[in-house]
Amino acid sequence: MKYFGTDGIRGIYGKGITEDLAYRAGRALAYVFGGRALVGRDTRASGPAIENALAAGIVSGGADVCLAGVLTTPAVSYLTGSRGCTFGVAVSASHNPPEYNGLKIFLPDGRKLTAGMESAVEYYTDNVPPRQHTVGLRTEWNGGGEEYAAMLAACVRAMAESSGRSYRLQGLRVLLDHGGGAGKDAAVGLFSGLGAEVRLLCEECRGECINVRCGALHPEAMCAVAGGYDLAAAFDGDADRLVVWSGRLLAGDEALYNLTRYPLGETVVGTVLTNSALERRLASRGMRLVRTDVGDRSISEVMRALGARLGGEPSGHFIVDGACGDGILSAAAIAVLAVTEGLHTFVCDRQVSCDLPIPHGAPPADRICDAERAARRLAERVVIRPSGTEPVLRIMAEGGDAEGAAAVVREMLS
């Protein structure tokens, strides 16, 4: 793909993502999907400029657009369908630092575009679509946050009651780190509404420090002051990612395991990076883990095909009975477990992860295969994959001499 990576269109503002690209992508989306679009954005300084260019492209392509202001990506995913839109766009670069921005695109069922749909949008981004006879209508709407918050509260209550638990969080002291992003109001409102005693970390931090030394990408800031709380939760810039602290920092796979304590079926969808210890724990309960490629889109697609209701990845994207990862919903569901019975933990198998810069593109496939074979002589599992959001090669080795295996890969592919 020329523009789309593993999670939408993304890049450094002014280089990989520009107003011109946003305009052309908006026009292409309007031509391919038509109808009406819902657009939300995170808190980045470049957000309004990208949003305006995108909206201009959508209306020029003949579709209507509703600008919903600052919203989390999961909120855009949900509201696209609830508001009767034909597609939705979250203007966000998710976990990337402030200089990045991007476009995450959703269908009415809340799911992200398939690869075939992305190729169609790319074609009309570079090739002007046939002229439309009408120009779309641009409107603004400020009720998205309230509607999304009500949905979150209803989901938490339903999950708790389906498992015979109380959804009330009275007495639970919670620390929330919103990472300077879009999840601040929704997270505080949800936890406070459920009865928790909430403190917000870096309360005044917004888009200028999104994901910088805070949030899910840097949980050490939260951990440093979490000792006086029962639970702490950190989100990334668009709040689709979650990191949990409960006495110690939980691995992403431990958080996912706790979510299996709800009656969500016997199949859990993970990724090639999911720790093997989780797979064994699920098997001991008669459950199975199905692995797919990295990214919540891949997880969502496999969940849909299998009829699974829970999926997630170690980075902290958890999909609970839906189509899109939602850090705030997952955090509240885990908080219910914490206040009623306590959280379950386990020791993950040793994993070593590192990035290898590839400024000129990924090495040939045969070199990657040779490096993987060599590394597997040392480690039990090895995964080598190009990042879909940055010019790096992601390396993961698990079990055995994981450090040695990662070193072999770096040496062979440098």
Length of the chain: 414
Q: Where are the beta strands (DSSP E) in 136-180?
A: 138-140, 173-177
Please give, one letter per residue, the 3-state secondary structure of 59-101. HHCCCEEEEEEECCHHHHHHHHHHCCCCEEEEECCCCCCCCEE
Tokens read off for 397: 């080795």
3-state SS class at 166:
coil
Closest CA to 146 of 83, 54, 236: 83
Closest CA to 334 of 207, 174, 96, 209: 174
Closest CA to 137 of 34, 66, 87: 66
Closest CA to 327 of 237, 265, 397: 237
- The answer to whether residue 162 is catalytic is no
Give the containing element (helix H, strand E) for 40.
strand 36-41
- AA letter at 227: G
Measured CA to CA, the distance from residue 274 to residue 348 in angstroms comes to: 10
Measured CA to CA, the distance from residue 243 to residue 236 in angstroms comes to: 9
3-state SS class at 129:
coil
Active-site position among 60, 94, 298, 300: 94
Measured CA to CA, the distance from residue 403 to residue 43 in angstroms comes to: 38
Measured CA to CA, the distance from residue 48 to residue 66 in angstroms comes to: 14
Q: Are 39 and 54 in contact (CB under 8 A)?
A: yes
CA-CA-CA-CA torsion for 10, 381, 350, 329, nearest 10 degrees?
40
As annotated, the active-site residues are: 94
